[in-house]
Structure 1
Amino acid sequence: MTSTATTSPAVTAIAARATGVTKAYGTGDARVLALDDVDVAIEAGRFTAIMGPSGSGKSTLLHVLAGLDRPSAGTITIGDADITEMSDKQLTLLRRDRIGFIFQAFNLLPTLTAAENIALPSKIAGRQPDPLWVQSVVETVGLGDRLSHRPSELSGGQQQRVAAARALAGKPDIVFADEPTGALDSRSGEELLRFLQHAVREMNQTVVMVTHDPAAAAHADRVLFLSDGDIVDEMHNPTSDEVLEYMKKLGA
């Protein structure tokens, strides 16, 4: 196992955990095993990246951890809640109340301003967001002068930062980001990744990000490497060169 971090004796809280998780699609000869008996703990207050070759199961792992898909076997917990035992309605409420999402597609409502898009999840949940927290998120993401603009009036990078601010506005227990820089140019992607770093280090958020980009993964505290549906290694305090070299070993 590759690690450049010193081990801390302190007990770290676990934001999410997969235990013996398998995910299969199809049946018989058409059965495909996307995840194969995966065990992993996501530490709270840290930035974790998930990497692997195409078809390794990285997006599937993110989706089952986030409750967007159900495993075929095994358990997933968010905090102390076993989400594999939840009904669809319970899962929907948990995702709404405790999880933030950032996807490659920005998923903003075109008729709403940036400020309205950021506040939307809390409004749907019938909650009043903490104004000081939202202000802090907006200032950190650098959108203070763009809040009255609609998505069509914003650049791709600005739209993704609105999406990131929306994910954090409700103070979620954990934020899942699926290729969040995939549709961005390098400068906009760097700005988003620095924001996610800041959210973890200064705002005590927990972020889990799937990426194919070693430079993006280098912003994380920890990188998990998947191959053929299983976690084969991890790296702490990674550099982009170290991640790139390891991905070459995996045949990516």
Structure 2
Amino acid sequence: MTTTTLRTATAARVVDAVKVYGVGDTEVRALDGVSVDFPAGRFTAIMGPSGSGKSTLMHCAAGLDTLTSGSALIGDTDLSTLDDRRLTLLRRERVGFVFQAFNLLPTLTVAENITLPLDLAGTAPDRARLDTLIDTVGLRDRLHHRPAQLSGGQQQRVAVARAFAGTPDVVFADEPTGNLDSRSGEEVLRLLGDTVRRTGRTVVMVTHDPVAAAHADEVVFLADGRLVDRMPSPTAERVLDRMKAFDGRGGGRS
């Protein structure tokens, strides 16, 4: 079996996803029967109170963690059917990642950090497409700089470019603006949205910030490890109101 891309209307999904940590008295059900799809070509945000399971959902959907039961799929590929080698290949070829902490290699230039997934895969970049990506993230004049010479916002733009460099089916972003000031965060969020619209790629973002979530096409809400709501065309005000409802009922594990 190979990790050949299978184009479907759903870029990623989980079905009856259960994730249990610990045993006995220390058991925690981080995910409790979640089924959710992430449509191709769309920007989806995952929100919920602290401890609701949103990061666990993202990690399991992306193949960074395994489910206790249920299924996680990228396109039509069930991740549980892959051995470690094939799972590594799938993550390299079909999935991109943007993390809160940037995770750039300090000894590499901006250009080298962006093309790192392609270099690891032994794949020659499409120069025209790479040039367009570099211009989209606004880093043309920083290609020969190293991460330490960049602002936090610029480093995260490098991370976004790296995530999209290998033409992944889906990019998972875990609190991508968590280490940024509001202005830099706004630039990164606009960049994620613009890239989805320009390239038809898919982004799934975990965030606690209603303003960040408002950049998405849809928000899915978790509470106590369960999917409890979906909100198309979100605004910051509507998302904030929804989150206040969780606070009002004490939803979510701390």
TM-score by length of 2: 0.94
1:7-22 mapped onto 2 (5 Å cutoff): 13-22=9-18
Unaligned stretches of 5+ residues in structure 2: 1-7
2:102 counterpart letter in structure 1: F
Unaligned stretches of 5+ residues in structure 1: 1-11
Residue in 2 that maps onto 1:122? 118
Residue in 2 that maps onto 1:69? 65
Residue in 1 that maps onto 2:239? 243
Shift of 1:86: 1.2
Find the aligned partners of 1:137 and 1:121 in 2 and give their Cα distance: 14
Find the aligned partners of 1:132 and 1:58 in 2 and give their Cα distance: 36
In the alignment, which of 189, 192, 195 is matched to residue 188 of structure 2?
192
1:88-237 mapped onto 2 (5 Å cutoff): 88-237=84-233
Number of aligned residue pairs: 241
Aligned-partner SS, 1:69: coil
The structure 1 segments of at least 4 consecutive aligned residues displaced by more than 4 Å after TM superposition are none
Shift of 1:30: 0.8
In the alignment, which of 32, 35, 38 is matched to residue 36 of structure 1?
32
1:226 counterpart letter in structure 2: L
Aligned-partner SS, 2:122: coil
Shift of 1:63: 0.2
Residue in 1 that maps onto 2:55? 59
Question: Cα deviation per residue 1:193-221 (whole Å; 9 max; x = unaligned)?
Answer: 11101111111110000000000000000
Find the aligned partners of 1:69 and 1:85 in 2 and give their Cα distance: 14
Shift of 1:247: 0.3
Aligned-partner SS, 2:142: coil
2:130 counterpart letter in structure 1: V
Matched, 1:81 2:91: no
Find the aligned partners of 1:58 and 1:174 in 2 and give their Cα distance: 17
Residue in 2 that maps onto 1:26? 22
CA RMSD of aligned residues (A): 0.9
Aligned-partner SS, 1:250: helix
2:193 counterpart letter in structure 1: Q
2:229 counterpart letter in structure 1: D
Question: Cα deviation per residue 1:170-197 (whole Å; 9 max; x = unaligned)?
Answer: 1000000000000001111001011101
1:79 counterpart letter in structure 2: G
Find the aligned partners of 1:34 and 1:233 in 2 and give their Cα distance: 17
Residue in 2 that maps onto 1:3? none
Aligned-partner SS, 1:145: helix
1:22 counterpart letter in structure 2: V
Find the aligned partners of 2:138 and 2:186 in 1 and give their Cα distance: 13
2:216 counterpart letter in structure 1: A
Find the aligned partners of 1:178 and 1:130 in 2 and give their Cα distance: 27
